[in-house]
Amino acid sequence: MASRSVPTGAYSGLMVSFANPRMTIQNQTGATLTLGTKACSDQQVCEFDPKLNQSSVTVQAPTTPFPITLAMNSPLVLKMDFNIDTSIQQSDLSITPAISVVQLPPPNSSGGNQGDEDMELIGQVASIDQTMHTFTIQSGMNGPSFTISADSTTQFDFGTSCSAENFSCLQTGQIVKVDAKMKPDGSLLAFEVKFFQPPNQMSFAGTVTSVNTVNTVNMGASSFQIVLFDEESFGGGDEMGSFSMGAPLTINLAPQATFSIDTSGFMFPSGLNFASAADLMVGQEVRLHPTGAPTGTPPNLMVTVDQVQLEPSFVTGSVTAVNTSSNPQSFTLGSLPSFLTNAGITSIQVDVLATTQFETEEDQSFSGLSSFKPGDMVSVRGPLFKTMTMPTMAAEKVVKRSTSSGTSD
């Protein structure tokens, strides 16, 4: 994701370059895999450097959306899909990049929803312009920087750290999550800014890959494993270090570790809880606050944390049932990724909220559950909860897909 200024004119295609790929897999073959010089045991999560079969891919006219013409002060929004299922070769796990590009409707001036691509950015506040009401964040450890504006509609969620709940709460060095939309001039406008960590502290996030239970009565977890997908490390003596996104980590829970949910302004149905280690499950996305530096060496790194926050997960599957008479309305998601089915999760109940967004792959809104039928392929974004009959996901966004692209929106 990026926002760039380019010369006006006619463009007949787009070339995308690839280099130095890293891959993290869970071996589900039933045998040990040899990945370059590394051995990956059955059920182990392993990180390695796959072979890149080609270094670039070109989408050229007459393939849509090309040719395209760029005019002065007229933003154009392109969405690129990197198809993981097609790109990864089953024979040797090498990568032959496969992409597709679609042109989205232009941003509208009223801040409406249809045609507006929402962006979620997490990073450190690098600078603040109090006069222009803009701020810049550095995403991740080595990601791009984004300049974002705020206005009277921007919501600030800083909890007890800043009671003003407005632009004045921002400080350089903070870690924040920003939900933003592109304005007609191509700049970014924040519609929500959520506080994560104060300056000189850090957090990191990942996907839960396994949970180690300490007893069979309460099913609490003494530790769990994640694959790192996001890290912010800034200053101080408790830095995480330089291990990469995709690294497997073992997470140990500190005594009195706290659990919370990133609600992002959503109201979740009653009975959906994330209050203790007993609520952890495979497939959840969590943001963690470490008490200190990791111990061990890759791939056997361990970190102790004292804060665990449930974040939205991304799951693609097929609709197996629709229940419009329930409260809340819901549908059942099946044909789940093997990562989940290997953990015994074959179905997920998806609760539809009053604020759930329904979109197509081209970011066009549609009517919702009334247009669903069994067999439809959808991707769902929302927090994943461990519930009795089957896991429950509270849907923040549902994207109806023409085929399974292996990606999330």
Residues 307 and 344 in one domain: no
User: Can you give the pLDDT at residue 142?
Assistant: 65
Cα–Cα distance measured from residue 200 to residue 219, given in angstroms and rounded to the nearest whole number: 35
Q: Is 4 within the bounds of a domain?
A: no
Residues 19 and 42 in one domain: yes
Please, what are the averages of pLDDT over each run of 10 residues along the chain (409 residues)? 80 94 90 88 90 95 92 82 90 93 72 56 90 89 83 89 91 89 83 82 85 59 83 46 75 92 80 92 92 81 91 94 91 93 94 88 74 90 94 93 55
Selection from 86, 92, 91 nearest residue 57 by Cα:
86
User: Can you give the pLDDT at residue 113?
Assistant: 44
Cα–Cα distance measured from residue 168 to residue 176, given in angstroms and rounded to the nearest whole number: 14
Identity of residue 202: M
Cα–Cα distance measured from residue 391 to residue 95, given in angstroms and rounded to the nearest whole number: 33
Residues 73 and 23 in one domain: yes
55, two tokens: 């270094």
162, two tokens: 């800043």
Query: Tell me: the pLDDT tens digits for 276-291?
Result: 999 999 999 998 888 8
Q: Is 218 within the bounds of a domain?
A: yes
Residues 280 and 352 in one domain: no
User: Can you give the pLDDT at residue 363?
Assistant: 64
Q: Is 2 within the bounds of a domain?
A: no
Q: Which residues, in sequence order, are bridge partners of residue 302? A: 250, 295
DSSP notation for 172-200: TT-EEEEEEEE-TTS-EEEEEEEEEE-TT
Q: Is 3 within the bounds of a domain?
A: no
338's enclosing H/E stretch is: helix 338-341
Determine the structural domain holding residue 239 and report its residue range: 203-311
User: Can you give the pLDDT at residue 216?
Assistant: 41
User: Can you give the pLDDT at residue 242?
Assistant: 52
Q: Which CATH number does the domain housing residue 296 bear?
A: 2.40.50
Domain end: 258, 283, 311, which one? Answer: 311
User: Can you give the pLDDT at residue 112?
Assistant: 44
End-to-end CA distance of the chain: 11
Q: Which CATH number does the domain housing residue 319 bear?
A: 2.40.50.140
Domain end: 49, 77, 104, which one? Answer: 104
Evaluate whether 281 touches 348 at the Cβ level (below 8 Å): no
Residues 387 and 357 in one domain: yes
Q: Is 348 helix (H, G, I), strand (E, B) or coil?
A: strand
**pTM for the full model?**
0.79
Residues 336 and 380 in one domain: yes
Residues whose CB falls within 8 Å of the CB of residue 253, separated by 6 or more in sequence, listed in order: 221, 222, 223, 277, 304, 305, 308
Q: Is 293 within the bounds of a domain?
A: yes
Q: Which residues, in sequence order, are bridge partners of residue 17? A: 56
User: Can you give the pLDDT at residue 120?
Assistant: 81
Evaluate whether 392 touches 345 at the Cβ level (below 8 Å): no
11, two tokens: 């463009």
Residues 208 and 301 in one domain: yes
Q: Is 111 within the bounds of a domain?
A: no
Domain end: 278, 311, 344, which one? Answer: 311
280, two tokens: 């952890």
Q: Is 240 within the bounds of a domain?
A: yes
Residues 16 and 98 in one domain: yes
As for how many domains the chain has, the answer is 4
User: Can you give the pLDDT at residue 322?
Assistant: 93
User: Can you give the pLDDT at residue 372?
Assistant: 87
Q: Is 126 within the bounds of a domain?
A: yes
Cα–Cα distance measured from residue 104 to residue 78, given in angstroms and rounded to the nearest whole number: 6
